[in-house]
Structure 1
Amino acid sequence: MKRLLTLLTFVALFAISCKKADYQKFTHNPELYRTTVKKLNDIVLENNFPPVIASRNYAYANIAAYEVIAAGDPKHYRSLAGQIKHLPAVPRPVKDAEIDFPFASMLSFCQVGNAVTFPEGSMEIYVEELKQKVKDAGMPSSVFEASVTYADSVAKHILKWSKGDNYAQTRSASKYTVTRKDGRWIPTPPMYAQALEPHWGEIRPMVLDSSSQIPAPEPPAYNMTDKKGTFYKAVIEVKNMVDSLNEDQRHMADFWDDNAFKLNVIGHASFATKKFSPGGHWMNIAGAGAQIKKADFGTTVAAYTQTSIALYDAFINCWYVKYRANSVRPETVITKLIDPDWRPYIQTPPFPEYISGHAVISAAAAEVLTHNFGDNVAYTDSSESEFGIAPRKFTSFRQAANEAALSRVYGGIHYRNACVIGSQTGRVIGQMVNEKLQLKIK
């Protein structure tokens, strides 16, 4: 009888362990985190978030997820509290609580993503599907409830912290005043949209001490009378490039266009098309890097988080420089003084030219991804396939960043200097993020 009870106990424990292994195979799969980030990326796209605001969405959601992972594995991951000097200590898990930390990290990501996107609650259907799947995979109710509770506490903490970043105050800040002085930015066709987020340089950064910490040199002075001058030559270079693009250059410009809202005008009809923002594109690249390197769940979350912080700070710095320099776009100069019928290959976005945002954020992201996954990581980027744009192959993250910067010249929306300086600035920001934020404990 005693032997029979022992055997029955063993069978029961074996069944429980198998059940546990089943649900952990699901919740601990890094592919599930990549899917979760992509879900937020899709919502950002669908709701037409500008690139700077999108970067805020990614940063806070990923930080919430990462803090859960760090709490669950403090031997391998270090909390960002204190490393980001204004982030207060995150709530610790209740002692002996049965928490599935990867599952809790995704719930925390979604809860923050729900709150910082609009319409608020956009991720609720995905969350309910996720919860049902873990139940179907056999997660015990005690683990489920403890995970939900901890995820909620971390998400609330991160959301409370986020409210101090000056975002709400910039919603009611004064609008940009357009001046017609030569060399100054003015709205461009076909939307003639008002200046996008002129106060984004006032947002609180995470690693930078201030938006102005990394200054950029003044752009070349506007001068279209001196045909041997730096500015005139820059304008002519853009015009000549766009007028003679080859197939690969057009593909490059299309691939890195990343226009979150393009207005298409055909005769008297107009319609909008949407793509991932530049930051969203680099979130996809972060996922590709993690997948290629076969990163585990925690490493994947850490890479996304560090990349999203670099993007966030890079946009803040870049926008500070843009509205300080307030430089005119090539389209404005060329159509006014050279060829009134000329148009750039891609649509000019509604904010000043110098420095190139795509150059800054791409270089920053590339430095962080190189730090996380190594240099010379070859990959194929198929992020744009869903928009009908063929994939491109890259030998490294840095090569991709360099191409992203150059694509803006081919697209006809930036002078080369803005892309060169933008890349230099972005690299500095990425290196600062790598130095100041030590996520993994070696």
Structure 2
Amino acid sequence: MNRFLLLLAGAALFFASCKKADYQKVTHDPELYRTTVKKLNDIVLENNFPPVIASRNYVYANIAAYQVIAAGDPKHYRSLSGQIKHLPATPQPPKDKEIDFQFASLLSFCFVGNAVTFPEGSMSTYVDDLKEKAKDAGMPSEVFENSVAYSDTVAKYIMKWSKKDNYAQTRSASKYTVKRSDGRWIPTPPMYAQALEPHWGEIRPMVLDSASQVPAPEPPAYNMTDKNSVFYKNVMEVKTWVDSLNTDQKHMADFWDDNAFKLTVVGHASFGTKKFSPGGHWMNIAGTGSIIKKADFSTTVAAYTETSIALFDAFINCWYVKYKANSVRPETVITKLINPDWRPYIQTPPFPEYISGHAVISAAAAEVLTHDFGDNIAYTDSSESEFGIEPRKFPSFRAAAMEAAMSRVYGGIHYKIACQVGNEQGRKIGQLVNEKLQLKIK
């Protein structure tokens, strides 16, 4: 009889563990996290978030998710509290309650994603689907409720912390003053939009001590009277490239365009088209890296988080440099002094030229991804396929970042020096992120 009871108990334990394994196969699948990040990426795209604001959306959502993972597995992952100096200790999970930390991290990501995007609640339907997925997979109700409760606790804590980053204050800050003086940035066609986020350099960074911690050299002095000046040569180099682009160079410029909102004007009609922002593009690349390396759920969350931190700080530093230099775009100089009908291959974005934002953030992200997944990781980037742009192949993340930088010269919106300096600037920022943040315990 006792033996029978033991067998019965063993069978019950076996089936219980099978049931547990079944639902964890769903909630612990790294593809589910990649899908969740892509969902936020789509919302950012649909609502025309500028690249700098998009980086803020990504970073807080990923940090919320990561802090849940670190709390659930402190033997293998370090909390960002303390590593990010101004991030206080995150609330710890109750010791007497079973929590599915992977599921809770997904919900925390979505909670913050819902809060930092508009219209608020854009991810609500997706969250409902996640919850149904967990229930359908057999997650016990107690585990479900505990996981939801803890995810809400962490997400609310991260949201409270996010409100101290000076973002709200910059919403009412003064606008950029347009001055028509030689060498200074002015709005460009076809939108002639006002300068985008001139105070973004005042946003609180994550790892950098300040926006100016990584200084950039001064741009070449404006000089269009001396044909031997560095500035004149830079201008003519852009014009020459754009006037003689080959098929691959055009593909490169289109692939890395990442214009969140492009305005096309035909006669008296106009229409807008949308793509991922540069940060959104690198979020996709982070996902590709996790697939190639067959990273598990927690490693995937950590990689997205570290990449989003690098992107966030890189944008802050870059925007500080941009509005310190206030450099004029090639389009303005060429149409005024050389050919009034000249246009860049891609649309000039509404902010100063020096330094190249795409060069800075791409190099920063590439350093982090190289640190997380390894150097010389060859991959195919199909991020732009949904916009009708063919994939491109790269031998490494760093090679992709270098191409992203050069693509802005082919596009006609940056001088080569702004891209070279930007790439070096981003590399230094990425290295700082790698040095200061130790997410995984080896």
TM-score with structure 2 setting the length: 0.99
The aligned counterpart of 2:403 is 403
- How far apart are 1:15 and its partner, in Å? 2.0
Give 1:29's aligned residue: 29
Cα distance in 1 for partners of 2:6, 2:79 equals 44
Match of 2:17 in 1: 17
What is residue 330 of structure 1 aligned with on the other side?
A: 330
Note the C-alpha offset of 1:59.
0.4
Structure 1: how far apart are the matches of 2:11 and 2:300?
Answer: 36
Alpha-carbon distance in structure 1 between the residues aligned to 2:141 and 2:391: 43
Letter in 2 for 1:284: N
Q: CA deviation at 1:169?
A: 0.3
Secondary structure at the residue paired with 1:264?
A: strand
**Offset from partner CA, 1:164-206 (integer Å, 9 cap, x none):** 0000000011111100001100000000000000000000001
Partner of 1:377: 377
Q: In the TM superposition, what is the alpha-carbon distance from 1:13 to its structure 2 partner?
A: 2.3
- Could you tell me how far apart the structure 2 residues matched to 1:14 and 1:73 are? 25
Secondary structure of the corresponding residue to residue 265 of structure 1: strand
SS where residue 96 of structure 2 aligns? Answer: coil
What is the total number of aligned residue pairs between the two structures?
A: 442
* Equivalences for residues 70-109 of structure 1 within 5 A: 70-109=70-109
Alignment of 1:216-235 (within 5 A): 216-235=216-235
**Counterpart-to-counterpart distance in 1, 2:369 and 2:127:** 28
Q: Which amino acid aligns with 2:37?
A: V
Please give the alpha-carbon distance, in whole angstroms, between the structure 2 residues aligned to 1:262 and 1:166: 28
Q: Which residue pairs with 2:247 in the alignment?
A: 247
Displacement after TM superposition at 1:7 (Å): 3.7
1:266, distance to aligned residue in structure 2 (A): 1.2
- Counterpart CA distance in 2 for 1:39 and 1:77 is 25
Inter-partner Cα distance in structure 2 for 1:264 and 1:22: 50
Q: Distance in 2 between matches of 1:398 and 1:219?
A: 24
How far, CA to CA, are the matches of 1:319 and 1:383 in structure 2? 25
1:306 equivalent in alignment to 2:320: no
Match in the other structure for 1:174: 174
Structure 2 residue matching 1:406: 3-state secondary structure = helix
User: What is the distance in 2 between the residues matched to 1:16 and 1:44?
Assistant: 41
Q: Give structure 1 stretches of 5+ with no counterpart.
A: none
Aligned mates of 2:9, 2:119 — CA distance in 1: 51
Aligned counterparts of 2:17 and 2:189: Cα–Cα separation in 1: 63
Does 209-218 or 255-264 show the bigger shift? 209-218
Once the two structures are superposed, what CA deviation does each residue of 1:323-378 show, in whole Å capped at 9, x if it has no partner? Answer: 00000000000000000000000000000000000000000000000000000000
Distance 1:440 1:21 in 2: 25
Match of 1:261 in 2: 261
Partner of 2:275: 275
Please give the TM-score of this superposition, normalised by the length of structure 1: 0.99
Whole-angstrom distance in 2 between the partners of 1:152 and 1:334: 53
Does 2:133 correspond to 1:125?
no
* Structure 2 counterpart of 1:114: 114
Distance 1:187 1:319 in 2: 16
- Give me the whole-angstrom Cα distance separating, in 1, the residues matched to 2:2 and 2:82: 56
Question: Aligned to 2:380, what secondary structure does the other structure show?
Answer: strand
| CA deviation profile, 1:131-188 (whole Å, cap 9, x unmatched) | 0010000000010011001101100110000000000000011111100001100000
One-letter amino acid matched to 1:290: S
User: Any residues of structure 2 matched to 1:135-154 within 5 Å, and which?
Assistant: 135-154=135-154
Give the match for residue 356 of structure 2.
Answer: 356
Q: Secondary structure of 1:95's match? A: coil
SS of 1:413's equivalent in the other structure is: coil
SS at match of 2:257: coil
CA RMSD of aligned residues (A): 0.8
SS in 1 for 2:285: helix
Task: Report the CA distance between 1:4 and its aligned residue.
Answer: 4.2
Q: Which amino acid aligns with 1:321?
A: V
Deviation at 1:5, TM superposition (A): 3.7
Structure 2: gaps spanning 5 or more residues: none
Q: Distance in 1 between matches of 2:256 and 2:62?
A: 24
Give the distance between the partners of 1:345 and 1:53, measured in 2 at CA. 25
Q: In 2, Cα distance between the equivalents of 1:231 and 1:375?
A: 35
- Post-superposition offset of 1:287: 0.3
Q: In structure 1, how many angstroms separate the alpha carbons of the residues matched to 2:256 and 2:350? A: 17
